[in-house]
Structure 1
Amino acid sequence: MSNSTTNKQTSHNNFFCRLTQIEPEEIKAALLAFLFIFLLMTSYMILKPVRDALPSDWGDVSRAVQWTYTFIFATLAVMIYNYFSSHISVRKLVPRVFFAFAISFMAIYAAFKLGVDVSLLGKVFYVWTSVFSLFHISVFWSFISQHYSKSQSKRVFSFINTGASAGAILGPLIVIVLAEAISIENALLVTSSILLISLPIIALLNKHFDAAEQRITDSEPLQTNPFSGLSQLLSHKKLMGIASFIFLLTGVSAFFYTTQSDVLAEFSRAERKQMLGGLELITNTLTILIGLFVSNRIFQKLGISFSLSFVPFAIAGLMLLLSANPVVLFVLILVVLRRAGNYAIVRPAREVLFTGVDREARFKTKPIIDIAVYRGGDVFWIWTIAFIGDGYLGFSMAEKIIAGAVVAILWGLTGMFIGRKHDNAEQQEASEQAASAELKPCKSTS
């Protein structure tokens, strides 16, 4: 390679490192992880606008029933995943998860083509897509976080997470352009194909991390007890704190989801798909900008406690303002702001928390929190909203938004608490490392 080519490459690397805060030796893994999550999110986001166009035809109680089914099947999926994680090495488990989802979507596609009842398959599609919506990202971050330290994750994770936003832009863009052609069955076929394309990326990441770390970190299965993840959740305050944070996050999401569905009820299903696709495009463009230029700098300068609490508190204030005039435009603007803040700041910040736990918690407890607790929270909150809404108390939309603001305040307080614990642990580790370095004898220079 000529000197001029080398200089150009070095210049590009320097610019990339300044932009992202990523060190030169971390670039390859970061780019591969970026591509991996990009493919995963593209596959899901093709399904999401199609899925989200369905609930506007349902009432509060009907939505609650579907979310209950989602929780049941999500919990079963986590149990199956934990069983196999106890018997299969992680390097084999991760690609098999995505292969299994690809096959499952192809099976639903085949059922559509065979003429199985469309109404039933629509509900199956809604539930299984909702399970996938959490599973693929949880498994991805479990796989990635095992290779990064606390300090590295604060620099690298926000960039990797922008890959999710890039994929989340491409998926809805496809839906917007091909709104009429992207039927449920076609979306399933495209998603399956993209999931299969992601499998070689997993192999490349395994190979890279093995070489970089000069050892195989995940070749052995985890503990054979399939309930060890649940046991850790119940016995560790940090994990319970994260679970509480996720539970309250789902509460805020549920209030937004029902409000969004209510204000879009007057539009046709095709119009909803296009509008929701447009919201995804705007949200994820904003997420990328925040992720590249803001998030990692917030993590490093202001800490994880601030990162986990700022967005919830800001959303609580905006929800109280929205309650005074909950018209369609204001609702959709706040939906974009909440989701961009959650994706760009809260999501990578909460993944940083898992760099401070062991592999057992990362691969077996994390899915319980990310999927079972999340979907359990969905069920609790959607039935709560149904109860206070058209199910019994008859709360107006404005009153439901105020109730959501109260949940957002509790969410912020929880984030502040668990983030402070993480920040304190990181500072203590840094102090111990500094003290250890000072105690090491100096090498003789003679």
Structure 2
Amino acid sequence: MAAHTRIVDLFNLRRGELAPVTIAAAFFFCILTALMMLRPARDALGMERGIESVRWLFIGTAVVTLLVNPVFGWLVSRLRRLQFIAATYLFFIISLGGFWALLVFAPDAVGARSGQVFYVWFSVFNLFVTMVFWALMADRFSSDQARRLFALIAVGGTLGAIFGPWLAARLAAPLGTPSLLLLASGFLAVAIALAWGLVRLGATEATPLAPHDAAPPESARIGGSAWAGLRAVAASPYLMGIAGYVVIMTIVATFIYFTRLQMVAAAEADLDARTALLGNIDMWTQIAVLVLQVTLTGQIIRRLGLGIALAILPIAMAIGFLGLALYGSFLVLILLEATNRAIQRGLTRPAREALFTVVGREDKYKAKAVIDTFLYRMGDVLGAQTEGVLGRLGLALGGLASVVLPLALVWAALGLWLGRVQQRRSRPDDAGTPSAEP
């Protein structure tokens, strides 16, 4: 009992919150473990035909996410919450089983084309399984809880992002790569069980649900149109603002991604040393994410507000790209990438997900799916194509900085505005009928 009290006090938990937060963190741990076990294979297969092929794979992924969104919207409209969450994860579990069967029973059929299919599939898988998780979190927890607890819940994902690659490295040789697909499926199956436990716990725990959930969570289907998500984003300034924030964020992250690919591809000497350095930087980045999530993120969000938390990443990226344009060194790029990952995962992601706690249930799943999958990937496409054009024009790092700096101003302004609107909509007197309008 004393240990329970110390944990509650340490992490600013309130009565009845420890159990749902623990289940949610374990849920996210399983998802990120499955994802990070498979990501190295995705990147290796995607690079098989060169950097230009990756640009086209980004376009393919954006098209697929657009096509999948109405299917997901249809599931949300027709099924109850636990049913469409389980259906989404089961689809990816079955897909992993199909890839496993291909690798085991028809290895000769595995080539560049099937590798590209896996790349696109994994990119869609990556976005949808995390989107569904955070949509459930926004549906399960109130705005106040999101500000206090989302960073703590995100710790589970960070631990999974560390555990997944470690597990893959230990088991790839003795079990073989195909077996990793089955193991990832197992983690997704556990995630379904944890989702069920989290929702069922919400019906009995004293902790409040999100403010717009007056009805029992599983009492009725959400209903609506399969295309409601696209229409909601187009009609709502608030959702459009979130979409703009996400698109700019992915454009800048894609600039970093392709800049690293270009620098590594151009390096002829000490490539192995640089590869090892990137691995070490990734490890230290995850540690930085953990430190942010456990110690600073909750404090920044509670004391400075969501707006400031969302504006920190744009400011950091503007400074980083300016430094990259001035010095153009591999070390500066690594520091920029590590900073982007640490702030985005440790601070921006929990703050961004809290924005969805003040919209209606239909928007939490359908509009969020559009923003976090299709529009996210459109940001990838815009970033990849813009970087390619600047490279062909010979503008390189200076050209990227000239694009990033004005984008960062808009990006930071969006973050501050979204924080103010979210705070206004989260007031108790505004927690009645949900509206996506500011």
Q: For 1:382, what is the secondary structure of its paired residue? A: helix
**1:137-156 correspondence to structure 2 within 5 Å:** 137-156=130-149
Q: Which of residues 329, 336, 339 is equivalent to 1:337?
A: 339
The alpha-carbon distance between structure 1 residues 206 and 272, as it changes in their structure 2 partners (threshold 3 A), is farther
Q: Which of residues 80, 84, 91 is equivalent to 2:71?
A: 80
Q: Which residue in 2 is equivalent to 1:164? A: 157
**TM score, norm. by length of structure 1:** 0.87
What amino acid maps onto 1:313 in structure 2?
I
Q: Provide, for residues 279-336 of structure 1, a one-character-per-residue CA deviation record: whole Å limited to 9, x for no partner.
A: 4432222111111111111111000110100121122112201222222222122211
Q: Which residue in 2 is equivalent to 1:111? A: 102
Q: Which of residues 64, 69, 77 is equivalent to 2:55?
A: 64
Q: Which residue in 2 is equivalent to 1:135? A: 128
Please say which of residues 181-190 and 120-129 is displaced more in the overlay: 181-190
What amino acid maps onto 2:382 in structure 1?
F
The alpha-carbon distance between structure 1 residues 180 and 280, as it changes in their structure 2 partners (threshold 3 A), is farther
Please say which of residues 312-321 and 397-406 is displaced more in the overlay: 397-406
**Are 1:251 and 2:244 counterparts?**
no
Q: Provide, for residues 22-49 of structure 1, a one-character-per-residue CA deviation record: whole Å limited to 9, x for no partner.
A: 2131000000000000000010011223
The alpha-carbon distance between structure 1 residues 149 and 252, as it changes in their structure 2 partners (threshold 3 A), is same
Q: Which residue in 2 is equivalent to 1:20? A: 11
Q: Provide, for residues 90-136 of structure 1, a one-character-per-residue CA deviation record: whole Å limited to 9, x for no partner.
A: 11111221111111112122222313132112111111111111111
C-alpha contact 2:139 2:361 (8 A) present in aligned 1 = yes
> Where in structure 2 are there 5+ consecutive unaligned residues?
209-214, 432-438
Aligned residues: 420
Q: Which residue in 1 is equivalent to 2:231? A: 231
Which has the higher Rg, Structure 1 or Structure 2? 1
C-alpha contact 1:312 1:411 (8 A) present in aligned 2 = yes
Q: For 1:86, what is the secondary structure of its paired residue? A: helix
Please say which of residues 411-420 and 287-296 is displaced more in the overlay: 411-420
Please say which of residues 121-130 and 109-118 is displaced more in the overlay: 109-118
Partners of 2:103 and 2:28 in 1: CA distance: 28
Aligned-residue CA RMSD in angstroms? 2.5
Q: For 1:332, what is the secondary structure of its paired residue? A: helix
Partners of 1:288 and 1:336 in 2: CA distance: 13
> Where in structure 1 are there 5+ consecutive unaligned residues?
1-8, 434-446
Partners of 1:285 and 1:208 in 2: CA distance: 31
Q: Which residue in 1 is equivalent to 2:325? A: 323
The alpha-carbon distance between structure 1 residues 276 and 74, as it changes in their structure 2 partners (threshold 3 A), is farther
**1:83-102 correspondence to structure 2 within 5 Å:** 83-102=74-93
The alpha-carbon distance between structure 1 residues 271 and 50, as it changes in their structure 2 partners (threshold 3 A), is farther
Partners of 2:404 and 2:171 in 1: CA distance: 35
The alpha-carbon distance between structure 1 residues 174 and 211, as it changes in their structure 2 partners (threshold 3 A), is same
The alpha-carbon distance between structure 1 residues 432 and 99, as it changes in their structure 2 partners (threshold 3 A), is closer
Q: Provide, for residues 355-412 of structure 1, a one-character-per-residue CA deviation record: whole Å limited to 9, x for no partner.
A: 100001001111011001101121122112222223xx23224433443344333322
Q: Which residue in 2 is equivalent to 1:3? A: none
The alpha-carbon distance between structure 1 residues 180 and 120, as it changes in their structure 2 partners (threshold 3 A), is farther
The alpha-carbon distance between structure 1 residues 239 and 29, as it changes in their structure 2 partners (threshold 3 A), is same
Q: Which residue in 2 is equivalent to 1:43? A: 34
**1:233-312 correspondence to structure 2 within 5 Å:** 233-265=233-265, 266=267, 277-312=279-314
Q: Which residue in 2 is equivalent to 1:379? A: 381
**TM score, norm. by length of structure 2:** 0.89
Identity of aligned residues (%): 27
Partners of 1:340 and 1:403 in 2: CA distance: 22
Partners of 2:57 and 2:389 in 1: CA distance: 15
The alpha-carbon distance between structure 1 residues 106 and 269, as it changes in their structure 2 partners (threshold 3 A), is farther
What amino acid maps onto 1:320 in structure 2?
L
Q: For 2:327, what is the secondary structure of its paired residue? A: coil
